[in-house]
Amino acid sequence: MTLSTSEARRETVISSALTVFARAGYLGTPVSAVAEHAQISTAYVFKLFPRKEELFVAALERCFALIRVALEAGAKIAPDESPEVVLKAMGAAYAALIADRSLLMLQVHAQSASTVPEIAAALRDGLALIVTFVKTRSQAPDVAVQQFIAYGQLCHLITVAGLDDDATDWARLLTNGIQHF
C-alpha cells in the first residue's frame, strides 16, 4: 500500500514529534522544532495537527504502538509459552527497545505533562493497551503482570537517572540483577 503525500507527511511529522518531544518534553518543545526536524513548514504541521496537544498525543500513541510491537516480537521468540518465560522475553525486548531513549523519555515527559487532559487520557490509554496485551499474551496471573509493569518502571528510573554504572550502595540495591542494553 502506497501512502498519499499527506499521509506520508503525517507519518514523518509523528516520527519527528516522537524524537523531538522526547528531547525537551511537551512544554519545552515548540511545534516549529518538530516541523524543522520533519523538514516541512510549521503551518503544514498545524494543518495536520491543529493543536500542539494533538501532535504530542499522536507521538505518544505511536510510542505505545511501538512498545506493543516489541513486546509481541519478544513473546514470539520465547523458548516456550509459560507465562514466566513469555514475560521474560517481553522484558528483554522492551529493554532492547528503550536502548534508544526516545520512547522512554517520551513516556517520562508524558507523565510530567499529565495535567493536560488529552495527554493524561493518551497516557492511560497507552498503559491500558500495554497492560492488557501483556496480560492476554502472557496469560500470567495479575500479580505477575503488575510486577512486570513495576519492574519496567524501575528500569525507566534506572535508565533516566543513569544508575547502571553507579557503584554506590543505594544505586546497587536498585540495579541489582537488572541489565540494560
Mean of pLDDT over the chain: 94
Residue 180: inside a domain, yes or no?
Answer: no
CA dihedral for 146, 148, 151, 153, sign (positive or negative): negative
pTM above 0.85, yes or no: yes
Residue 117: inside a domain, yes or no?
Answer: yes
d(CA 59, CA 106): 8
pLDDT at 139 over 70: yes
- In 3D space, the residue among 160, 155, 133 whose CA is nearest the CA of residue 74 turns out to be 133
- In 3D space, the residue among 150, 138, 140 whose CA is nearest the CA of residue 71 turns out to be 138
Residue 121: inside a domain, yes or no?
Answer: yes
Residue 98: inside a domain, yes or no?
Answer: yes
Residue 113: inside a domain, yes or no?
Answer: yes
pLDDT at 112 over 90: yes
The pLDDT > 90 percentage for the chain reads 81
CA dihedral for 22, 30, 16, 133, sign (positive or negative): positive
Residue 181: inside a domain, yes or no?
Answer: no
pLDDT at position 4, please?
66
d(CA 33, CA 15): 13
pLDDT at position 94, please?
92
CATH assignment at residue 79: 1.10.357.10
pLDDT digits (tens, 9 = 90+) for 163-176: 988 999 999 999 99
pLDDT digits (tens, 9 = 90+) for 27-52: 999 999 999 999 999 999 999 999 99
Domain count, the chain: 1
pLDDT digits (tens, 9 = 90+) for 68-111: 999 999 999 999 999 999 999 999 999 889 888 899 999 999 99
For range 133-141, the mean pLDDT: 98
d(CA 100, CA 98): 5
Residue 96: inside a domain, yes or no?
Answer: yes
Angle of CA points 169, 172, 178, to nearest 5°: 170
Range of the domain at 59: 5-175
pLDDT at 2 over 70: no
Residue 67: inside a domain, yes or no?
Answer: yes
